[in-house]
Chain A
Amino acid sequence: MELLYSVCVGVLVSCGVFLILRARSFPIVLGLTMLSYAVNLFLFASGRLTINKAAILSANDQYADPLPQALVLTAIVIGFAMTAFSVILSIRARADLGNDYVNQQTNNKIGVKK
């Protein structure tokens, strides 16, 4: 389970980083979303991965750590707000700048085939 989980986090992070380095606003928004998914999974795993344990203190001492779940909830809410803001800002930038390049454009456009 740990292996599968860590591979998932790793793949998500690498996809996110790749998309962010594309330097165009919509891939970047997607990349940021993927990165925040990966971060949420990572935070969740920081309480150790367990199966069949409730996230509450009970009579027996078999319980999952509830704190990372609270942290993940908070991170999801914040990440959602931030994604919404970056989408709106990207749309505004697309309208204002006439293209979706994040970097300063020179005459020879990077990544545009003639």
Chain B
Amino acid sequence: MQHIVAFPILFPLFSALLLLLPPCGKNIKVRRIASVSFSIIALAINLSLLVQVCNLGTLTYAIGNWQAPFGIVLHADLFAVTLTSLAAFLTLCCVLFSCAGDDARGSFFHPLVQFLLMGVSGAFLTGDLFNLFVFFEVLLIASYSLLMHAADKHNTRGALHYVILNLVGSAVFLIALGTIYGVIGSLNIQDVAVRITQLADDDIYLAMIGGSLLLIVFALKAALLPLHMWLPNTYSNAMPVVAALFAIMTKVGIYSIIRVYNSIFSADSGPLGAMGQNILWYAALATIVVGTMGVLASKDMRKLVANLIVVSAGTLIALASMQQMQATAAAIYYLIHSTLVCAALFLCVDLIASQRGKVADRITTGRPVKQGLLIGLVFFVSALAVVGMPPLSGFIGKIWILKATYQQGEYALFWPVYLVSSLLLLVGVTRAGSIVFWQNTPTDADKMDVKPAHRAKIYAVYILAAVSPLMVIFAKPISDFCLQAAMQIHPVTTVAPLTGGL
């Protein structure tokens, strides 16, 4: 079954098309059942690909059997397939959550989600820079439409900002690709990595321009300072279930940085080795600081969670910029954890907002959450996990990150920034949680009209939040797995201190 490598991309494509056709297109019940079952099958396909990659090592699939430098290849290594599985799992949970009624508030929710999954999986699997651009566009156009799903007047401006910013980003991406192709003569990532070492004279500077532009585009997608401004507004404008899905989208940018900067601009790739490392490192630290301030300043829960995503993006890029095996392994562990926990928090915020009447998700005194215990428990677990308190997965991720930076000798700057930001995050999240759940003005009258949350919503949130304790219980095999995946990205262990150019 060599073709299974292409299935994580092809299957969502066909399921999206099927969801548009009758009988799924006509009947909402059929559509929901079909969508959930397609998502389960997509997850199963991804997991079986993961098993294959574990057993056989990295799989390379030439689309249409056109061989590597001429055709487009899909490159399925452990890291890529882990992330496609993560995306499929997140999609399943969000689809399940939306079946409680959010999907019927606009049109084409389920097909768009499948198109988004297709774009995300494609971006993770592809081994070709131009193909990466194409899949970025696939996931972006799906995300534009999802952002406007069930949107009212107030959301339009946020959506417009997001669309314009990303269209400019796409233009810059294409210019970067044109420059790289013009100077190197190839767009296959592995081929570029080989050829970039043979450049001489002025070509080096051209390649540097191309690489820097590429870095800017990825930083925009990953919400790195100063290109992170769009994220809090966009995510808090979207419906929470859509925002939860978007939690994987910043990770696409981070994945691209890890992939491209560890193969094309790795420490031993000649004159351009470790390009832009210093800039990434300091920008990542600044992102952590600004994200933390955003969390403290947030007036509603959605903004708060969106800023938590900014902090996690900063942490991940700091790890990526070190270009070290331990750091990448820690980044993979932290990436899985932070995606799922942030998604759980977004869904949790939706439940809170729907049960507090007019106050919705604003962090002020209001009427109590009706199912306080049920929702409070999941919020408590996710909040502790996202801040990194023991005994949840955030804590293990945090220890690993601290250890990786210690081994690199980068702790003098990173540790204070990271630890103080964690403390402030704890303060911010605890404050929000205690105000929302405990500081209430209960009146008997308004308790009546709130319906308890739909079962599908509760299941989806609990499944997502349960991953964090599971990642602690199975910490040993998961961390071994992350190390293995990181070893495939860094085939030779090279010592790369932060002496990068630029």
Bound-state Cα–Cα, A106 to B460, Å: 41
Bits for B50-61, please: 1 = Cβ < 8 Å to A, else 0: 000000000000
Q: How large is the interface on B (under 10, 10 to 19, 20 to 34, 35 or more residues)?
A: 20 to 34
| Chain B, residue nearest A25 (CB) | B160
Which listed segment binds A: B98-106, B173-181, B421-429, B441-449?
Answer: B173-181
Whether A36 and B171, one on each chain, are in contact in the complex, defined by CB atoms closer than 8 angstroms, is yes
Which listed segment binds A: B161-169, B256-264, B385-393, B486-494?
Answer: B161-169
Whether B141 and A45, one on each chain, are in contact in the complex, defined by CB atoms closer than 8 angstroms, is no
Whether A82 and B167, one on each chain, are in contact in the complex, defined by CB atoms closer than 8 angstroms, is yes
B163: contacting residue among A39, A78, A85, A104, CB under 8 A: A85
A82: contacting residue among B153, B159, B170, CB under 8 A: B170
A86: contacting residue among B167, B178, B182, CB under 8 A: B167
- Say whether B130 faces chain A, with CB atoms less than 8 Å apart: yes
- Say whether A63 faces chain B, with CB atoms less than 8 Å apart: no
B128: shortest Cβ distance to chain A, in Å?
A: 11
Whether A46 and B157, one on each chain, are in contact in the complex, defined by CB atoms closer than 8 angstroms, is no
A97 contact set on B, CB distance < 8 A: 153, 156-157
Bound-state Cα–Cα, A90 to B156, Å: 9
Whether A71 and B167, one on each chain, are in contact in the complex, defined by CB atoms closer than 8 angstroms, is no
Known contacts A43-B174, A102-B161: A35-B168 contact under CB 8 Å: yes
Q: How large is the interface on A (under 10, 10 to 19, 20 to 34, 35 or more residues)?
A: 20 to 34
| Chain B, residue nearest A105 (CB) | B157
Whether B179 and A46, one on each chain, are in contact in the complex, defined by CB atoms closer than 8 angstroms, is yes
A89: contacting residue among B130, B148, B170, CB under 8 A: B148
Bound-state Cα–Cα, A45 to B170, Å: 18
Whether B164 and A102, one on each chain, are in contact in the complex, defined by CB atoms closer than 8 angstroms, is yes
Whether B171 and A102, one on each chain, are in contact in the complex, defined by CB atoms closer than 8 angstroms, is no
B181: contacting residue among A35, A38, A46, A92, CB under 8 A: A46
Bound-state Cα–Cα, A85 to B187, Å: 28
- Say whether A75 faces chain B, with CB atoms less than 8 Å apart: yes
- Say whether B191 faces chain A, with CB atoms less than 8 Å apart: no
Whether B167 and A43, one on each chain, are in contact in the complex, defined by CB atoms closer than 8 angstroms, is no
B141 contact set on A, CB distance < 8 A: 81-82, 85
13 contacts between A and B (CB under 8 A): A32-B167, A43-B174, A43-B181, A45-B178, A45-B182, A47-B182, A71-B130, A74-B134, A78-B137, A86-B164, A89-B144, A89-B159, A89-B163
**Interface of B toward A, CB cutoff 8 Å:** 130, 134, 137, 141, 144, 148, 153, 156-157, 159-161, 163-164, 167-168, 170-171, 174-175, 177-179, 181-182, 187
Interchain residue pairs A-B with the least CB separation, the first 3: A46-B182, A46-B178, A96-B156
